[in-house]
Amino acid sequence: MNSPVLIKDAARLVSSPLNAERLADLQRHIGRNRFLPVPPSEDNFVGDGDYLAIGTEFLGHFIELGGLHAHERVLDVGCGIGRMAVPLTQYLDPEAARYVGIDPASAGIQWCTRNIGSVYPNFRFMHLDIANALYNPDGYIRGTEIALPFANGSFDFAIMTSVVTHLPSEEILPYFREISRLMELGGRLFLSAFVIAPDRGAGLSPRVEFRRDGEGPAWYGNPRAPLAAVAFDDGFLDKALEAAGFEIALKRFGHWRGSNGAPHYQDFFVAVKTSRGVS
C-alpha cells in the first residue's frame, strides 16, 4: 500500500527547486564526499542509523517536499549534533543563504561549532538552555514560554525533525507560535512526528508500542521515560499548526507502524506560513 498523503493545493504552496535527476546527483555527491564532518559514534546522541546517509535523505525531503531553495534562510530547531546541517552545507548558497541551528544539548552545539561552523561561516549554532526532561532537565527556559532570539520574519524555512516526538503536548502550540513569528510569509515548516491514526494500525509498531497518556492527546512509547518517544492523536498537530498561522500543504504517513510502502520512517508535515493567525 502506498503511503497516505494529504495535500491541500500543494502545487500552489510548495514546489521543488530541483528535478529528481539533479537531486539524486546532489545526494550521490554528498555520499561520496569523504571530507564532510561526521561525529564519532559514541558522541552521536541523535538516534541510530548512518549519520550522513540519514541527513542526506532528509535533505532530499526538504528540497522535494518542502521546496527548500539554495538561497533561503534556514532555522533548525533541535539541531542536535548536526545531522541535518552537514548535508545542507553542500546545498545552501554560502553567499546568499544562512543556517542557524539551536539545541538544548550543549555538547552537540560545541561539536557543530568546531566542526561545521568553523568551516562554513554562514552556518551558526546556538545553545539555548531550554528545559527538556530527556535532553536538558535542568534548563531554565520553560518550553511553554519558548522565545527565540531572532526578529520577526527572520527565516524562510524551519526544520523540526524528531523534535515534537520529544515534547509534551502543552509545549507544542508555544513552539509552533514562536516559529511562526520567525517565519517570512510563505515560509515553510518541515516537521516529523508520530501520529496515532486509529484506522492505520493504532499505536502498533515493530519498534515501539505507544500507549495513551490519560485523557490527553499524547501517547508514550516508554511510560518510564515519557519524552523518549511521544506520539499524538491524529488532528492534534494539524490544529496546533493552523492556530499558529500555518496552512498544511502536505501530510504524509511514514512506515513506523509497519510496512506500508512509505519511503520514510516518521510521519511528515509541510506547513506554510500564511497571513492568517500569527503575524
Report percent pLDDT > 70 for the chain.
Answer: 87
Rounded Cα distance, 36 and 32, in Å: 9
pLDDT of 249 above 70:
yes
Candidate ranges 83-97, 188-202, 249-263; pick with highest mean pLDDT: 83-97
Of residues 261 and 220, more confidence is placed in 220
Quickly count: other Cβ atoms within 10 Å of residue 261's Cβ: 9
CA 261 to chain centre: 21
Q: Which residues pair with 127 in a beta bridge?
A: 103
185, 271 in Cβ contact below 8 A? Answer: no
What is the value of pTM for the model shown?
0.91
pLDDT in tens, 6-48: 666 565 678 888 899 999 999 999 999 999 999 887 665 555 6
Residue 201: strand, helix, or coil: coil
Q: Is 104 exposed, middle or buried (0-12, 13-18, 19+ CB in 10 A)?
A: buried
SS3 8: coil
More confident position, 277 or 63? 63
pLDDT digits (tens, 9 = 90+) for 141-165: 888 899 999 999 999 999 999 999 9
Helix orientation angle between 51-64 and 20-32, rounded to the nearest 10 degrees: 160
pLDDT of residue 48: 61
Determine the pLDDT at residue 76: 98
Question: What residues contact 184, with CB distance under 8 A and at least 6 apart?
Answer: 153, 154, 155, 156, 273
Contacts of 179 (CB under 8 A, 6+ apart): 75, 77, 148, 158, 160, 189, 244
6 against 255, higher pLDDT: 255
Could you give the percent of the chain with pLDDT greater than 90?
Answer: 66
State the chain's maximal CA–CA distance in angstroms: 50
> What string of H, E and C letters represents the secondary structure of 54-119?
HHHHHHHHHHHCCCCCCCCEEEEECCCCCCCHHHHCCCCCCCCCEEEEEECCHHHHHHHHHHHHCC
How confident is the model at residue 45, as a pLDDT? 53
The amino acid occupying position 206 is P
pLDDT at 28: 96
pLDDT in the model for residue 279: 44
